């Protein structure tokens, strides 16, 4: 141990106490010299002779010194320092070259760092819960429902009977209106959660307590846990808030806890709220309020595996319980579906992120090839310098090391500048991320990203530096020194290498261009596709009537009828309606197992359709056209005689009444099986896609709001002018009816449809940007190679002209040379692209991964830019002066 | 980086370590001593001696300090460290094995 310390101390001394060490060595050797001299003197030599003989016998002092330095092993650090200074000086002498090469590397390294920081934040960083790998999402599954939420009673049975979970908890969306305390009423994003919800996620309240099973009793459940941001923004971070009463939906709740600032919502599926700091408060779920109901499914369920238990064991365990339940109650062909929380959270973003990573990786590769090409061109201009250095005794390894140091300096400078770009880039990136992108808040430049950048820079430096360095150091000494600068070329081998690099660069750029082209094509398809509704000039807002004051259903019907009537009377408003949901907002509530009149099938899960309620003018406002029949007329009544009616979409009509007219047909639900509850189809509307890129349409039906008076509705207004101008009038209209009602989510339908396309727009924008950069780099690469070869051959061109070649011949010669490389590159690129574009998968819409239009367009684009890149060098070649060449011959 | 030494690589280290195992010595004295003890057979050149000393020092086998010689001059004296002593035992044992082995080979060769 002491020896190690000694070694470290001595190395440090050799490194930093250089002058001291050197001086000591000098003293030591001069002592030796004196001793020798004295000995010689004693042997009888004269003073001068003795000294001279001593010097002879000692030999070259500086050689001894140098080999002592070698022995101290610190010499190469000194060499590195020298190389660094030399590299910086050399690069500083050609600022234009250095600027171009550093900038291209900075752009591509910066892009890599930025995309990697997204991947690090979203995919690599562990979820913000304790031991997140033990957390599972639990769903029901049937032939028609891939992921169905749980029913409260089923949940409770799972909680009591499972053997594989340490704990299991569920939550469901329950937005509430906070009023009182002087301020305007505000809608809060809330969830009701089962006892031990936070415990299951591994979170503990910052103050106060988690909910217990006792809190699940309805009479005890007027409790709330606040999020950190709500506590700060609405309650000015009052430290004594525990126990305080607040008014939610006009009822009194007691605050029992506050969560810390880093507590995140894990994301949920039913009435989805994105993960992150997206929830304002939590209330207990009244688990015992629904005796006998096994049909309503709305609980998003999380479970924590016992240590050592596996997902497969959990599946088997829950399936056993489910079998029991289906025997005890009416069974309906359900299965258990579990998925690790991590996969559930980031699964859908993975492909897009990997596509982006692949794109920036390609870009970096192109930048490397470009840098290698530039360095090669430079090293042929430095042939003489290198030859002189070898002649003066520099070993080949020493020259390679010097040149590699140069490329590493370039790469590190690129990385430094790239990090600055990435710092800004990540902020822009995050602000442009598609709405609801998982874990967006976890994205930032951190130590891992810096380490990644550094490693990428070092690898890049080696990658683009090694080939030029090895080539340059293999210089034929005699030739280079003998020949004058005129023909100091790198020879045919080097030209071949550079041609190869340009072909590779063009090919890689083509791959990126094709990816971008396919995505652009898809995006245009999406914009052109018939969405089934007309989003222009529609304003939307969400309202939620507090159940306490609007428990009687006629009251809810009356409220919305009055509101919509007053809205429709506003100047500039064409139609006003309300529905339980809006197109393209991710709604996927389904009604399962209805019975079709005249069919022998009982209630089963084979009949399924999206389930909505709407007011009469909902369809006209959104521009959803009627195919046959009629819209609701507002005379549908809930109370008297209940003549149930529904409107269905084309998909539902075609699937369940193929070849028949669905108008007048009737269906009924298990929960309302009586004869008077049968519902008759009065109208068929056009299909509206679930998502812009849905390839199939789901069957769907609408109940009139007057027969299904949901308190939470989305109000829509079609304006004859800019819909955003209606916002204030809308607020006013709401306030006149009920001053305590909060208006939330005021958006235009255009905003909604635009954010539904945000994933595609985002990835198209980035891949397009990278492809553009790649094209620019490849064009510069081509220009560099052709321009260089023209410079080398100017003499030859002069001779050709003298022998009768016309300028057009030379122009054709050079363009031909460029086109040859470009065609090779494009061909290689198209082949690679054909193999790779399948990976774009769901990012494509309405276009095949080997779309011939895109492929040929990119090939033409690549050939076009190449021709452009070759044109200027070719013009120079064509202007070769025959007299000049002849005179110098 | 030429190390002009007739000695087998590593042997010089052994000789140096052994020479200073009795008492600290400066470079000149180490060379002289090896020469004398070997009856002038082993001549250690300065070009080999000083790099070897520096290497041994860097490896932590020996340590150096400046002292005054009998003749009143400043000189750099080298002494064995504890680790150096252990190393010397190892190298000596190795040398014994090697020279025995070489001896055996030579003797058998001579007997034939």
Segment A427-455 mean pLDDT: 86
pLDDT confidence band for A789 (50 / 70 / 90): confident
CA proximity to B64, closest of A64, A27, A16, A15: A27
Shared domain for A864 and A719, answered yes or no, is no
Report the DSSP beta bridge partners of residue B78: B25, B64
Q: List all residues 6 or more positions away from A745 whose beta carbon is below 8 Å from its beta carbon.
A: A540, A541, A542, A714
Q: Which residues of B touch A7 (CB under 8 A)?
A: 58-60
| Chain mean pLDDT for chain A | 86
The shortest CB-CB distance from B54 to any of A32, A57, A68 is to A68
Q: Which residues of B touch A37 (CB under 8 A)?
A: none
Instruction: For residue A558, give the H/E element and its range.
Output: helix A553-568
The shortest CB-CB distance from A3 to any of B46, B76, B81 is to B81
CB A175 within 8 A of CB A187: yes
Instruction: For residue A394, give the H/E element and its range.
Output: none
Segment B82-105 mean pLDDT: 88
Q: How far apart are the first and last CA of chain A?
A: 73
pLDDT confidence band for A196 (50 / 70 / 90): very high
Percentage of chain A with pLDDT > 70? 93
d(CA A664, CA B40): 124
Task: Report the pLDDT value the prediction gives residue A725, as an integer from 0 to 100.
Answer: 87
Instruction: State the ipTM, two decimals.
Output: 0.81
Q: Does the structure show a pLDDT above 80 at A384?
A: no
Shared domain for A357 and A325, answered yes or no, is no
Q: In what order do the strands lie in the sheet with B74-80?
A: B25-26, B74-80, B62-68
Chain A nearest-CA residue for B65: A24
Task: Report the pLDDT value the prediction gives residue A65, as an integer from 0 to 100.
Answer: 76
Segment A39-52 mean pLDDT: 83
Residue A14 covered by a domain: yes
**Mutation site, A1, A6, A34, interface B, largest B CB count within 10 A:** A6
Shared domain for A467 and A355, answered yes or no, is yes
| Bridging pattern class, strands A223-226 and A251-258 | parallel
Instruction: For residue A486, give the H/E element and its range.
Output: none
Residue A11 touches partner B, C-beta closer than 8 Å: yes
Instruction: For residue A772, give the H/E element and its range.
Output: helix A758-802
Q: List all residues 6 or more positions away from A12 whose beta carbon is below 8 Å from its beta carbon.
A: none
Contact B74 A11 (CB under 8 A): no
Task: Report the pLDDT value the prediction gives residue B2, as an integer from 0 to 100.
Answer: 34
d(CA A463, CA A84): 18
pLDDT confidence band for B109 (50 / 70 / 90): low
Chain B nearest-CA residue for A4: B60
Residue A751 covered by a domain: no
CB A509 within 8 A of CB A140: no
The shortest CB-CB distance from B54 to any of A6, A58, A71 is to A71
pLDDT confidence band for A482 (50 / 70 / 90): low
Comparing A206-210, A885-889, B66-70, the range with the smallest average pLDDT is A885-889
Q: Does the structure show a pLDDT above 70 at B9?
A: no
Q: pLDDT tens across A537-594, in order? A: 999 998 888 877 888 888 999 999 999 999 999 998 999 999 998 998 877 777 767 8
Contact B60 A68 (CB under 8 A): no
Contact A27 B76 (CB under 8 A): yes
Chain B nearest-CA residue for A11: B58
Report helix, strand or coil for A487. Answer: helix
Residue A826 DSSP symbol:
H
CA proximity to A73, closest of A1, A16, A25, A15: A15
Residue B50 touches partner A, C-beta closer than 8 Å: yes
The shortest CB-CB distance from B83 to any of A3, A10, A36 is to A3
Shared domain for A554 and A523, answered yes or no, is no
Residue B40 touches partner A, C-beta closer than 8 Å: no
CB A611 within 8 A of CB A592: no
Shared domain for A612 and A517, answered yes or no, is no
The shortest CB-CB distance from A10 to any of B3, B47, B57 is to B57
Residue A474 covered by a domain: yes
Q: pLDDT tens across A606-629, in order? A: 778 888 999 999 999 999 999 999
The pairs formed by A596-605 with CB atoms below 8 angstroms and a separation of 24 or more are A596/A656, A596/A665, A596/A666, A596/A667, A597/A665, A597/A666, A597/A667, A597/A668, A597/A678, A598/A665, A603/A669, A603/A670, A604/A332, A604/A333, A605/A142, A605/A143, A605/A144, A605/A145, A605/A332, A605/A333
Residue B30 touches partner A, C-beta closer than 8 Å: no
Report helix, strand or coil for A301. Answer: strand
Please name the residue ranges forming H helices in A438-490: 447-473, 477-482
What domains can you pick out in chain B, each with its CATH number?
11-111 (1.10.10.10)
Q: pLDDT tens across A731-783, in order? A: 999 999 998 888 888 899 998 888 888 888 888 998 999 999 999 988 888 88
Chain B nearest-CA residue for A3: B60
Contact A63 B2 (CB under 8 A): yes
Shared domain for A317 and A372, answered yes or no, is no
CB A109 within 8 A of CB A452: no
Q: Which residues of B touch A67 (CB under 8 A)?
A: 1-3, 47, 50-51
Q: Among A44-48, A467-471, A646-650, name the most confident range.
A: A646-650
Question: Domain range spanning residue A234?
Answer: 149-333
Q: pLDDT tens across B53-76, in order? A: 888 888 888 888 888 888 788 888
Query: How many domains does one find in chain A?
Result: 4
Q: Does the structure show a pLDDT above 90 at A631?
A: yes
Torsion of CA A638, A639, A641, A646, to 10 degrees: 0
Task: Report the pLDDT value the prediction gives residue A486, as an integer from 0 to 100.
Answer: 47
The full DSSP string for A312-381 is HHHHHHHHHHHHHHHHHS-----EEEEEEHHHHHHHHHHHHHHHHHHHHHHHHHHHHHHHHHHHHHHHHH
Cβ–Cβ pairs < 8 A, chains A and B: 74
The shortest CB-CB distance from B46 to any of A24, A58, A70 is to A58
More confident residue, A103 or A477: A103
Shared domain for A290 and A428, answered yes or no, is no
Shared domain for A808 and A874, answered yes or no, is yes
Shared domain for A358 and A295, answered yes or no, is no
Residue B59 touches partner A, C-beta closer than 8 Å: yes
pLDDT confidence band for A487 (50 / 70 / 90): very low
The pair phi, psi for residue A739, each rounded to 5°, is -65, -15
Report helix, strand or coil for B45. Answer: coil
Residue B54 touches partner A, C-beta closer than 8 Å: yes
Please name the residue ranges forming H helices in A608-742: 618-622, 650-656, 727-737
Contact A59 B3 (CB under 8 A): no
Pick the last residue of a domain from A40, A73, A106: A73
pLDDT confidence band for A491 (50 / 70 / 90): low
Report how many helices (DSSP H) and strands (DSSP E) chain B contains, helices first. Answer: 4, 3
pLDDT confidence band for A417 (50 / 70 / 90): very high
- Name the A residues in 26-65 with CB < 8 Å from any B CB: 27-29, 31-32, 34-36, 57-60, 63-64
Shared domain for A554 and A520, answered yes or no, is no
Contact B74 A27 (CB under 8 A): yes
Residue A577 covered by a domain: yes
A562-A564-A570 Cα angle (round to 5): 105
Comparing A56-65, A192-201, A646-655, A844-853, the range with the smallest average pLDDT is A56-65
Residue A180 DSSP symbol:
-
d(CA A230, CA A391): 75
Residue A110 covered by a domain: no
Q: Does the structure show a pLDDT above 70 at A332?
A: no
d(CA A783, CA A583): 51
Residue A107 covered by a domain: no
CA proximity to A294, closest of A323, A269, A330, A324: A330
Residue A121 covered by a domain: no
Instruction: For residue A683, give the H/E element and its range.
Output: strand A679-685
Torsion of CA A348, A352, A357, A358, to 10 degrees: 120
Shared domain for A765 and A710, answered yes or no, is no
Q: Does the structure show a pLDDT above 80 at A842?
A: no
Provide the shortest C-alpha distance from residue A382 to chain B (in Å).
28
Strands (E), A547-656: 573-579, 590-592, 595-596, 608-614, 626-629, 645-649
Q: Is the dihedral of CA B51, B54, B56, B62 positive or negative?
A: positive
Q: List all residues 6 or more positions away from A313 whose beta carbon is below 8 Å from its beta carbon.
A: A164
Output Rg (C-alpha) for chain B, integer angstroms: 16
Taking the mean position of all CA atoms in its chain, how far away is CA A634? 46
Q: Which two tokens stand for residue A612?
A: 């909505």
Q: Which two tokens stand for residue A74?
A: 């610190």
Chain A nearest-CA residue for B67: A28
Query: Residue with structure tokens 């924008």?
Result: A765
Q: Does the structure show a pLDDT above 60 at B4?
A: no
CB A129 within 8 A of CB A120: no
More confident residue, A142 or B26: B26
A787-A792-A793 Cα angle (round to 5): 95
Q: Which residues of B touch A28 (CB under 8 A)?
A: 26-27, 50, 75-76
The shortest CB-CB distance from B50 to any of A10, A29, A57 is to A29
Q: Which residues of A touch B73 (CB under 8 A)?
A: 31, 34
Residue A10 touches partner B, C-beta closer than 8 Å: yes
A851-A857-A861 Cα angle (round to 5): 145
CB A864 within 8 A of CB A822: no
d(CA A665, CA A597): 7
More confident residue, A50 or A131: A131
Shared domain for A643 and A790, answered yes or no, is no
Chain A nearest-CA residue for B2: A67
Residue A135 covered by a domain: no
Q: Is A139 exposed, middle or buried (0-12, 13-18, 19+ CB in 10 A)?
A: buried
Q: List all residues 6 or more positions away from A622 whose beta carbon is below 8 Å from its beta carbon.
A: A533, A534, A535, A538, A577, A582, A583, A716, A718, A749
Please name the residue ranges forming H helices in A573-670: 618-622, 650-656
Q: Is the dihedral of CA B18, B22, B23, B26 positive or negative?
A: negative
Contact B76 A73 (CB under 8 A): no
Provide the shortest C-alpha distance from residue B93 to chain A (in Å).
22
More confident residue, A84 or A17: A84
Predicted TM-score (pTM) above 0.80: no
CB B68 within 8 A of CB B87: no
d(CA A870, CA A252): 78
Segment A198-227 mean pLDDT: 91
Provide the shortest C-alpha distance from residue A860 to chain B (in Å).
60
């Amino acid at each position: 141990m002491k020896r190690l310390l000694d070694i470290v101390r001595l190395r440090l001394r050799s490194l930093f106490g250089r002058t001291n060490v050197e001086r000591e060595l000098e003293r030591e050797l001069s002592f030796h010299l004196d001793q020798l001299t004295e000995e010689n003197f004693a042997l009888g030599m004269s003073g001068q002779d003795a000294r001279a003989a001593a010097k002879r016998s000692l030999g070259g002092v500086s050689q001894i010194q140098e080999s002592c330095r070698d022995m101290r092993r610190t010499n190469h650090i000194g060499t590195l320092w020298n190389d660094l200074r030399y590299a910086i000086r050399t690069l500083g002498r050609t600022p234009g070259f250095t600027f171009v090469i550093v900038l291209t590397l900075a752009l591509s390294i910066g892009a890599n760092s930025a995309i990697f920081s997204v991947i690090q934040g979203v995919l690599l960083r562990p979820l913000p819960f304790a031991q997140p790998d033990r957390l599972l999402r639990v769903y029901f599954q049937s032939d028609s429902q891939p992921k169905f939420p749980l029913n409260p009673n089923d949940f409770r049975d799972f909680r009591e009977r499972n053997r594989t979970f340490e704990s299991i908890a569920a939550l469901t969306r329950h937005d509430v209106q906070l009023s009182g305390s002087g301020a305007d009423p505000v809608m809060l994003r809330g969830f009701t959660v089962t006892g031990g919800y936070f415990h299951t996620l591994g979170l503990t309240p910052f103050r106060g307590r988690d909910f217990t099973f006792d809190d699940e009793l309805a009479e005890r459940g007027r409790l709330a846990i606040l999020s950190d941001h709500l506590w700060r923004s609405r309650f000015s971070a009052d430290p004594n808030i525990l126990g305080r009463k607040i008014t939610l939906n006009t009822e009194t709740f007691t605050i029992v806890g506050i969560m810390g600032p880093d507590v995140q919502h894990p994301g949920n599926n039913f009435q989805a709220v994105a993960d992150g700091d997206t929830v304002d408060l939590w209330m207990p779920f009244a688990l015992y309020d629904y005796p006998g109901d096994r049909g309503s499914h709305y609980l998003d369920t999380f479970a924590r595996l016992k240590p050592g238990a596996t997902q497969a064991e959990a599946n088997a365990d829950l399936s056993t319980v489910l079998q029991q339940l289906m025997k005890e109650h009416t069974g309906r062909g359900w299965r258990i579906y579990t998925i690790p929380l991590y996969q559930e959270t980031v699964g859908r973003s993975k492909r897009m992120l990997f596509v982006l990573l692949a794109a920036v990786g390609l870009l970096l590769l192109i930048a490397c090839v470009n840098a290698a090409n530039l360095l090669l061109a430079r090293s042929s201009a430095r042939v003489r310098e290198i030859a002189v250095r070898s002649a003066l005794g520099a070993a080949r390894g020493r020259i390679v090391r010097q040149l590699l140091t140069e490329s590493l300096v370039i790469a590190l400078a690129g990385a430094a500048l790239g990090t600055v770009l990435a710092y800004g880039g990540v902020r822009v990136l995050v602000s442009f991320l598609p709405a609801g992108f998982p874990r967006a808040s976890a994205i930032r430049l951190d130590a891992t990203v810096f380490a990644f950048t550094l490693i990428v820079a070092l690898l890049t430096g080696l990658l683009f530096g090694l080939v030029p360095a090895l080539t340059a150091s293999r210089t034929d000494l005699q030739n280079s020194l003998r020949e004058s600068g005129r023909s100091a070329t790198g020879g045919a081998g080097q030209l071949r290498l550079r041609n190869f690099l340009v072909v590779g660069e063009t090919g890689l750029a083509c791959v990126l261009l094709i990816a971008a082209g396919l995505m652009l094509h898809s995006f245009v398809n999406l914009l052109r596709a018939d969405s089934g509704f007309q989003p222009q000039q529609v304003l939307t807002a969400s309202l939620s009537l507090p159940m306490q004051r609007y428990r009687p259903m006629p009251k809810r019907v009356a409220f919305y009828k009055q509101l919509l009537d007053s809205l429709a009377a506003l100047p500039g408003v064409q139609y006003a309606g309300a529905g339980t949901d809006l197109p393209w907002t991710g709604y996927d509530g389904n009604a399962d197992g209805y019975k079709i009149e005249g069919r022998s099938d009982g209630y089963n899960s084979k009949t399924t359709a999206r389930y909505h309620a709407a007011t009469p003018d909902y369809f006209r406002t959104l521009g959803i056209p009627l195919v046959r029949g009629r819209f609701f007329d507002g005379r549908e009544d809930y109370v008297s005689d209940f003549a149930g009616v529904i409107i269905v979409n084309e998909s539902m009509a075609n699937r369940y009444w193929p070849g028949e007219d669905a108008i007048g047909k009737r269906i009924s639900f298990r929960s309302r099986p009586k004869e008077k509850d049968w519902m008759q189809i009065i109208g068929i509307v056009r299909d509206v896609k679930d998502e812009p890129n849905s390839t199939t349409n789901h069957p769907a039906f609408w109940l009139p709001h007057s027969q299904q008076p949901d308190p939470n509705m989305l109000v829509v207004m079609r304006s004859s002018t800019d819909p955003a101008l209606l916002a204030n009038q809308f607020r006013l209209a709401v306030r006149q009816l009920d001053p305590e009602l909060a208006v939330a989510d005021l958006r235009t339908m255009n905003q909604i449809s635009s954010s539904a396309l945000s994933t595609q727009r985002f990835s198209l924008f980035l891949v397009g940007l990278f492809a553009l950069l790649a094209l620019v780099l490849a064009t510069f690469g081509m220009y560099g190679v052709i321009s260089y070869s023209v410079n080398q051959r100017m003499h030859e061109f002069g001779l050709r002209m003298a022998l009768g070649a016309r300028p057009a011949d030379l122009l054709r010669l050079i363009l031909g040379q460029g086109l040859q490389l470009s065609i090779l590159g494009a061909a290689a690129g198209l082949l690679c692209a054909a193999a790779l574009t399948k990976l774009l998968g769901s990012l494509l819409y309405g276009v095949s991964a080997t779309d011939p239009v895109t492929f040929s367009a990119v090939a033409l684009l690549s050939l076009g830019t190449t021709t452009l890149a070759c044109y200027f060098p070719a013009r120079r070649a064509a202007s070769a002066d025959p007299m000049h060449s002849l005179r110098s011959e | 980086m030429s190390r002009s030494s007739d000695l087998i690589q590593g042997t010089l280290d052994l000789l140096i370590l052994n020479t200073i195992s009795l008492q600290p010595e400066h470079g000149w004295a180490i060379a002289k001593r090896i020469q004398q003890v070997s009856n002038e057979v082993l001549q250690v050149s300065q070009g080999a001696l000083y790099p070897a000393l520096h290497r041994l020092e860097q490896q932590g086998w020996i340590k150096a300090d400046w002292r005054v010689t009998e003749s009143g001059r400043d000189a750099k004296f080298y002494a064995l460290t504890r680790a150096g002593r252990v190393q010397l035992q190892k190298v000596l044992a190795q040398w014994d094995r090697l020279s025995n082995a070489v001896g055996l080979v030579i003797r058998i060769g001579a007997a034939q």
